[in-house]
Amino acid sequence: MNSKKQYALVTGATSGIGYGLAKLLAKDGYNLVIVSRDKKMAELKAAEFEKAYKIKVITIVKDLFNHQAPFELYDEIKSQGIKINVLVNNAGQGQYGEFTNTDLKREIEIIQLNIISLVALTKLFLKEMIKRGEGKILNVGSIAGKIPGPYQSVYHGTKAFVNSFTEAIRSEVKDSGVTITVLLLGATETDFFNKADMLNAKNVQDSKLADPAIVAKDGYEALMKDDDKVISGFKNKMQVAMGNILPDDVVADKVRKQQAPKDKATK
User: Closest approach of Cβ 167 to ligand NAP, in Å?
Assistant: 17
Closer to ligand NAP at the Cβ: 36 or 179? 36
How far apart CA 106 and CA 230 sit, in angstroms, is 29
> Is 155 in the active site?
yes
Among 25, 46, 57, 113, binds ligand NAP (CB under 6 A): 113
Region 53-82 residues binding ligand NAP, contact defined as CB under 6 A: 62-65
Q: Residue 14 interacts with ligand NAP (CB under 6 A)?
A: yes
Q: Do residues 65 and 39 lie in contact, with contact meaning Cβ atoms separated by under 8 Å?
A: no
Mark 175-214 with x for binding to ligand NAP (rule: CB under 6 A) and - for no binding. Answer: ----------x-xx-xxx--x-------------------
Q: How far is the CB of 2 from ligand NAP (least distance, A)?
A: 28
Number of residues that bind ligand NAP (CB under 6 A): 32
From the list 158, 251, 146, the residue with the least C-alpha distance to 196 is 158
Q: Which of 6, 7, 8, 17 binds ligand NAP (CB under 6 A)?
A: 17
In whole angstroms, the minimum distance from the beta carbon of 153 to ligand NAP comes to 14
Count CA atoms closer than 13 A to 98's CA, side-chain side: 6
Report the residue from 12, 97, 135, 233 that binds ligand NAP according to the rule CB under 6 A: 12
Do residues 151 and 98 lie in contact, with contact meaning Cβ atoms separated by under 8 Å? yes
The Cα–Cα gap between 156 and 162 comes to: 10
Length of the chain: 267
Burial class (CB in 10 A: 0-12, 13-18, 19+), 80: exposed
- Name the segment binding ligand NAP (CB under 6 A); options: 29-37, 73-81, 95-103, 246-254: 29-37
Return the number of other C-beta atoms located less than 10 Å from residue 228's C-beta. 13
Query: E strands within the chain?
Result: 7-11, 31-36, 57-61, 84-89, 135-140, 178-184, 229-231
Q: Which residues are catalytic?
A: 155
What residue ranges bind ligand NAP (CB under 6 A)? 11-18, 35-38, 41, 62-65, 90-93, 113, 140, 142, 144, 185, 187-188, 190-192, 195
